[in-house]
Amino acid sequence: MKIALAQLNFVIGDFEGNYTKMAKAVTQAKKLQADIICFPELAVTGYPPRDFLEFKNFVQGAIDTVDKLALLADDIAIVVGAPSINPIVEGKDLYNSAYFLAEKSIKHITHKALLPTYDIFDEYRYFEPATSFSTVTYKGKKIALSICEDIWNIKNENPLYTICPLDEVADEKPDFIINISASPFSFNHAEARLKIVQENAKRYHAPLFYVNHVGAQTEIIFAGGSVVANQNGDIYEEMVFFEEQLQVFDLEDIIKSKRNKIQKKNKIELIYRALVTGLSDYFQKLGFKKAILGLSGGIDSAIVAVLASDALGADNVRCILMPSQYSSDHSINDARILAENLGCQYDIVPIESVYNGFMGELDIHFSGLPFSLAEENLQARIRGTLLMAFSNKFGNILLNTSNKSEAAVGYGTLYGDMNGGLSVIGDLYKTEVFKLAHYINREKEIIPNNTIVKPPSAELRPDQKDSDSLPDYDILDAILFEYIENQKGPQEIENLGFDPKLVARILRMVNRNEFKRYQMPPVLRVSDKAFGMGRRMPIVGRYLS
């Protein structure tokens, strides 16, 4: 028996487009003599469909698409993810289901039992969990169908759940397992996924075919990396990352094989490719073409310019240099050199006269008061206004260039440098931004070296440096990581050796600036805990205040 895995890039709600893409894959799989082709979890709708699932015509559109796909299942079987209607009055209206299509009809439906409701996941909001389980038989083989999270409670070790779905069908002794998944990318998740696939294959002594989405849905990025393991837990194949791919596997070859083929994974390279994918898909799926950003000569905007040029093409990226009386000559030159290295259009729009115009109007009100944050933020907001003017006039989408360290502690100006349609590096700490810059320059100097080595500065007052307001980034990022990603409280962080006063100060800054993050653009997610939909904090609260 031959099984095809099709990791494809779907568009949420584009039933016709998603069907066309799957139909093409079915045709290709037939030519390769596959017996079964597998598509990912909720492939028909795209993942995550969120509150679209509350519209009856949306759900019906998905079901109609499944029926249409079934007509292609003549001399091939199709496994595909889509919602199905719960016929029982009690409970949620829908199941998250895996359809098994054969002989031009729906032969079997498996429902998802373990519905993740944490971080970016909110499946219990929409779906009823499965309570009954069985295999499906096709061409003499017993197949255990499962959906994403259903393989993540092996041996009932996950405290979030009370059952292990594959245990429920283990007595039927399935010949192999199919898991259709929607597993978002984070830089350390690929290894965990391989491990869970291996453990399941070994536990049930059955080959496991795992198919994942590829591409991005706004902030959520899927890497692909679909996996096939033999009954001993050896990884027979790990498919490509960040690319659509269809591959056919011979079940007998997998059973006999002892090979263990695992891709090498470089964290920074994976992050770079994820961000390029996120940028590219955000623009393509929304019908946008051109991007604009403020290029300051600093490392953050430099990184975003490089990523945008790679994702969209340099011809579609416009950089605006907006020096003030506080901007250093080397920052302006660094920004110009980078734009020329990339081949991007760039414009220089000085803001000193605009700033002086504002200050002239404000002088009667500010007279006698010292230079302060008000004047600094005014410069950032002038730049934000100019960028939005360019955006509106020329139809370019503004890219936000703030990093995670800044966003965490509120080191940014609302309606100024926090403007944008998409936050490109908002899930990268400053220390990771520097690593990404070195990765970009690994073969030749694209980002001017001066941009990388000079002390970070917002350049909003004379001789300003980030270190005037913030701790050293190595220390700041380490504390932020423990609080945000590892969700450790102040005492736990202090126990790691950090200064208690510094810990208290940083954590207060994080909590007090939640109101700013609520107004940020969507953030491309590359970690386990990004700002946005996966981290839900109250704006008003007194924890660590």
pLDDT tens digits, 459-469: 777 878 877 78
Q: Please tell me whether residues 259 and 295 are part of one structural domain.
A: no
Instruction: Show which of 430, 450, 470 is a domain's final residue.
Output: 470
- Among 231, 265, 299, the domain boundary falls at 265
Amino acid identity of 476?
Answer: L
Q: Give the chain's length.
A: 545
My answer on whether 363 and 461 are in the same domain is: yes
DSSP H or E segment with residue 69: helix 56-70
The CATH number of residue 81's host domain is: 3.60.110.10
Indicate whether 239 and 318 sit together in one domain.
no
CATH at 376: 3.40.50.620
Query: In 401-499, where does DSSP find H-type helix?
Result: 404-409, 430-440, 449-453, 473-484, 490-494
β-strand partners of 223: 214
User: Cα(206)–Cα(199) distance, rounded to whole angstroms?
Assistant: 11
Higher pLDDT, 495 or 456: 495
Q: Judge whether residue 7 has pLDDT over 90.
A: yes
Q: Is the pLDDT of residue 394 over 80?
A: yes
CA distances from 17 to 21, 22, 44, 222 (A): 6, 9, 10, 18
- Residues 80 and 147 occupy one common structural domain: yes
Mean pLDDT across the chain: 95
- Place 434 in a pLDDT band, splitting at 50, 70 and 90: very high
Rounded to two decimals, the pTM is 0.95
Percent residues over pLDDT 90 in the chain: 89
DSSP state of 520: S
Gap between the Cα atoms of 379 and 444, Å rounded: 34
| pLDDT tens digits for range 119-163 | 999 999 999 999 999 999 999 999 999 999 999 998 888 888 889
Q: Is residue 433 part of a domain?
A: yes
Shared domain for 117 and 185, answered yes or no, is: yes
Give Cα 544 distance to the centre of its chain.
29
Q: 451 falls in which pLDDT band (50, 70, 90)?
A: very high
Residue range of the domain that includes 336: 270-470
Once rounded to an integer, what is the mean pLDDT over residues 315-319?
98
The residues that are catalytic are 41, 112, 148
Question: What pLDDT score was predicted for residue 46?
Answer: 98
Are residue 186 and residue 284 in the same domain, yes or no? no
Give me the mean pLDDT over the 498-502 stretch: 96
Q: Looking at the structure, tell me whether residues 194 and 295 fall in a common domain.
A: no
Do 9 and 34 have their domain in common?
Answer: yes
Residues 90-115 as b or e (16 or more Cβ within 10 Å = b): eebbbbbbbbbbbeeebbbbbbbbbb
Q: 343: phi > 0 → left, psi -120 to 50 → alpha, else beta; which?
A: left
Instruction: Give the pLDDT confidence of 359-384 residue by residue, as tens digits.
Output: 999 999 999 999 999 999 999 999 99
201 and 341 fall within a common domain: no
Q: How confident is the model at residue 449 (pLDDT cuts 50, 70, 90)?
A: very high
For the residues 316-339, what does the mean pLDDT come to?
92
Give percent of the chain with pLDDT exceeding 70. Answer: 100
Based on the fold, state whether residues 140 and 289 are members of the same structural domain.
Answer: no
Residue among 190, 161, 218 nearest 47 (CA) = 218
Residue 237 forms beta bridges with which residues? 228
* Average of per-residue pLDDT across 494-520: 96
Q: Are residues 248 and 137 in the same domain?
A: yes
The SS3 call for residue 199 is helix
For residue 545, the model assigns a pLDDT of: 60
